[in-house]
Amino acid sequence: VNARTAPERSEAWRAGIKKYYIYVVLALIVVLFSVVKLGQVQMFGRGHFLSPDSLINLLRTAVPILTLSGAFTLLMISGYIDLSVGSAMSLSAVVFALMILNGFAFLPALLLTLVMGLAMGGLNGLLVMKLRITPVIATLVTLNLFKGIALLIVPGGLSAIKSSAAKLMPAWINDYARKGVLLRLPWAFYVAILVIAVLAVVQRKTILGKYAAAIGGNRTAAELSGINAVRMVWVLYVIVGLFAALAGVARASYMSLGDPLSGDGMELDNIIAVLLGGTAFSGGEGSVLKTIIGALIIMCVTTGLMTVIPAFWQVMAKGSVLLLAVVLNHLLVRARAKA
């Protein structure tokens, strides 16, 4: 009686693939880049993809996307999108660097930047949820708005907020995102891990996570069953803004300067990570932890490719990865719909 029929078995296969493919992809990519470099350097030696130096470097540069993509996933689960995250991150980096350059201590500068992040997310929420402007349009416009403000803050003739003859950027700005504190990894990395852990719990165990999935699955039904969709999604936008600001602080601290273009393309990296993680396009289901694996895949691909192909191939590579992620996502989502 317990013997399973053929369709049941193939369905179990599909479910298995859906559950584990992303880990396999990550492992394959790591192996691939490790093998590609094999001829040139000693296994696990310095300069190798899997060497401690290169791993630590990879994780340090991954801090912004690790910080941000969890919140981004929650928003996409609810069926909404925020294309302004990259610009919000740039603006935060610029403002944070400006404050540090002008003698603020770390904590006040951090707190003020985070408050600004809340405001940016709040503005997006206001435009999308209260004024009912289509999410893509509203956040595309705020993308340009935040970018424009960041460019205005940086004095004419300079490319970024940085040390000059008149004012010196304090060296301790590095302490947060570059200097190793434990296992040679910086504070910012552990903060990102904490953020991921909290958001994973929020997604799985709290009302906010359940409501986000309900709204993404069917907003009308969710509202009819008493969920205040406007307020819930607004909260999600604010959370995304908050972590975009935190990511900006990490980027500024890592680079020791406030670059108004440093967050460009962040929204695409996040979308790729979310799609690789199997979150449905239209919302309704998804997983914060799988997005994080997706984010690691992107970082591995970008870092790994930098060692083997010229820089001008990067844009093409990322575009192809995005389309591949869409195809993978489509196949899995359709597999579910058929089953």
Partner 1 sequence: MKVPTKIGARMSNESFLSLFMLGVLVVLFGVACVFVPNFYLPQNMLNILTNNWFIVILGIGVTFLLITGNFDMSVGGNIAMTGVLSVYFCQAANVSQNALANGIGLPYAAALVLALVCAMGIGAINAFFIARLKVPSIIITLGTMMLARGVAQIVTRGAQRNTSLPDAFGVLGNTAIRGTSIKIAVLVMIVLVVAAFVFEKLTVAGRRTYLIGANPEAARLSGIKVIRHITLLYLASGLLAGITGILLASEFKAGVSGRAAGYEFDALVIALLGGVSIAGGFGSVLGMFVGAVILSVVTTAATGLLLSPDWQFTLKGIVTFIAILAQRFALDRRKA
**Binding test (CB under 8 A) with partner 1, winner from 133, 193, 332, 335:** 133
Specify whether the CB–CB gap between 34 and 300 falls below 8 A. Answer: no
Does the footprint of partner 1 cover residue 149 (CB under 8 A)? yes
Specify whether the CB–CB gap between 281 and 334 falls below 8 A. Answer: no
Binding to partner 1 (CB under 8 A) within 260-299 occurs at 268, 271, 275, 281-282
Q: How far is the CB of 138 from partner 1 (least distance, A)?
A: 8
Closer to partner 1 at the Cβ: 63 or 161? 161
Residue 151: C-alpha distances to residues 55, 160, 202, 282 (Å): 33, 9, 35, 34
**Binding test (CB under 8 A) with partner 1, winner from 156, 166, 220, 224:** 156
Does the footprint of partner 1 cover residue 44 (CB under 8 A)? no
Q: Which stretch binds partner 1 (CB under 8 A): 8-16, 52-60, 181-189, 311-319?
A: 311-319
DSSP code, position 26? H
Helices 266-276 and 85-101 pack at an angle, to 10 degrees, of: 130
Rg (the chain; Cα; Å): 21
Write down the residue that tokens 């540069």 correspond to.
Answer: 61
Scanning the chain, the segments in alpha helix (DSSP H) are 6-36, 52-77, 85-101, 106-125, 135-153, 187-205, 207-217, 219-224, 229-255, 266-276, 288-308, 314-338
Distance from C-alpha of 314 to C-alpha of 233, rounded to nearest angstrom:
34
Does the footprint of partner 1 cover residue 316 (CB under 8 A)? yes
Does the footprint of partner 1 cover residue 220 (CB under 8 A)? no
Distance from C-alpha of 254 to C-alpha of 63, rounded to nearest angstrom:
10
Does the footprint of partner 1 cover residue 224 (CB under 8 A)? no
Does the footprint of partner 1 cover residue 337 (CB under 8 A)? no
Q: Binding string to partner 1 for residues 53 to 82, with x set by CB under 8 A, is what? A: ----------------------------x-
Question: Nearest-CA neighbor of 76 among 237, 221, 293?
Answer: 237
Q: Which stretch binds partner 1 (CB under 8 A): 24-32, 146-154, 228-236, 293-301?
A: 146-154
**Binding test (CB under 8 A) with partner 1, winner from 58, 145, 208, 261:** 145
Which spans of this chain sit near partner 1 (rule: CB under 8 A)? 81, 83, 127, 131, 133-134, 136-137, 140-142, 144-145, 147-149, 151-152, 156, 268, 271, 275, 281-282, 310-320, 322-323, 326, 330
